[in-house]
Amino acid sequence: MLSTIHKAAAALATATVATFWISTLFSEVFLDHTAITAVKTAIPYGFSILIPAMVLAGVTGAKLAKGRKAGVLGAKSKRMPIVAANGILILIPAALFLATKAQAGSFDTAFYVVQAFELLAGAANLTLLGLNIRDGRKLTAGKRRRAGA
Ligand code: HEM
């Protein structure tokens, strides 16, 4: 049960970050300012999905770990403060700034500098989440083998 909730929350959090990242890059590269503004405006609303999903993934993960800190579990839990700091200090302020700028039609140098940083910080978080998925799969590899899957 807890493991199912953990997997669902982890998948939702990762999919949300990936959606923000891909829709940002796609709209910046292929679409016009109207579409970019729509994407930039939608992303802060998406935080209402992302933040609870990320917290739930972290809390259920910590419960599943039951205080074990060695190896893969230690690596997984050490990534979480980095993901959170990156989100709170860079990604959320950047997304709010970019939404405000886009809505004002202000696609200036500051917009694109912050946009570039947001894409980099987003890629860093996606990498860390991807590593947590890979390590989660490692943790359940034995279970899967025993189940014959
Ligand atoms: C948002 C960050 C995280 C993501 C994306 C993530 C992803 C995953 C995934 C996909 C699995 C399931 C693998 C499978 O069933 O084959 C898993 C399992 C697991 N994760 Fe995480 N995880 C995250 C955070 C954490 C944290 C912080 C911990 C605690 C150290 C943790 C501990 C575990 C444990 C113990 C399992 C095995 C559950 C079981 O035995 O069924 N996870 N994780």
Q: How far is the CA of 8 from the centre of ligand 1 (A)?
A: 10
Q: How far is the CA of 21 from the centre of ligand 1 (A)?
A: 22
At residue 149 the predicted structure's pLDDT band, cuts being 50, 70 and 90, is: low
The answer, yes or no, to whether residue 24 has pLDDT greater than 80, is yes
pLDDT tens for 61-88 read: 999 999 989 899 999 999 999 999 999 9
At residue 127 the predicted structure's pLDDT band, cuts being 50, 70 and 90, is: very high
Query: 79 in ligand 1 pocket by Cβ < 6 Å?
Result: no
**Sequence-distant (≥ 6) Cβ neighbours of residue 77 within 8 angstroms:** 61, 62, 65, 69
By CB neighbour count within 10 A (0-12 exposed, 13-18 middle, 19+ buried), where does 32 fall?
exposed
Range list of H helices, 31-91 = 33-65, 71-85
Arithmetic mean of pLDDT over the chain? 96
Task: Report the pLDDT value the prediction gives residue 30, as an integer from 0 to 100.
Answer: 98
Tell me which residue of 48, 57, 59 sits closest to 20, measured CA to CA.
48
Q: Which residue has the higher pLDDT, 142 or 21?
A: 21
131 within 8 A of 15, measured Cβ to Cβ: no
> Ligand 1: which of 1, 132, 145 to mutate, judged by most atoms within 8 Å of the beta carbon?
132
Q: Per the structure block, which two tokens stand in for 147? A: 């189940």
Query: 9 in ligand 1 pocket by Cβ < 6 Å?
Result: no
Per-residue pLDDT averaged across 95-104, rounded?
A: 98
Q: How many beta carbons lie within 10 A of that of residue 14, not counting itself?
A: 21
Compute CA 147 distance to the chain's CA centroid, rounded to the nearest angstrom: 31
**How many structural domains are present in the chain?**
1
Task: Report the pLDDT value the prediction gives residue 146, as an integer from 0 to 100.
Answer: 87
Query: 10 in ligand 1 pocket by Cβ < 6 Å?
Result: yes
Name the residue with the closest Cα to ligand 1, atom 40: 140
* Dist. CA 76–CA 128, nearest whole Å: 9
Q: How far is the CA of 133 from the centre of ligand 1 (A)?
A: 7
Which residue, chain included where needed, has tokens 């894409």? 119
pLDDT tens for 6-21 read: 999 999 999 999 999 9
Write out the residue range of the structural domain in which residue 134 sits: 2-146
> Would the pTM count as exceeding 0.85?
yes
CATH number, domain of 12, equals 1.20.120
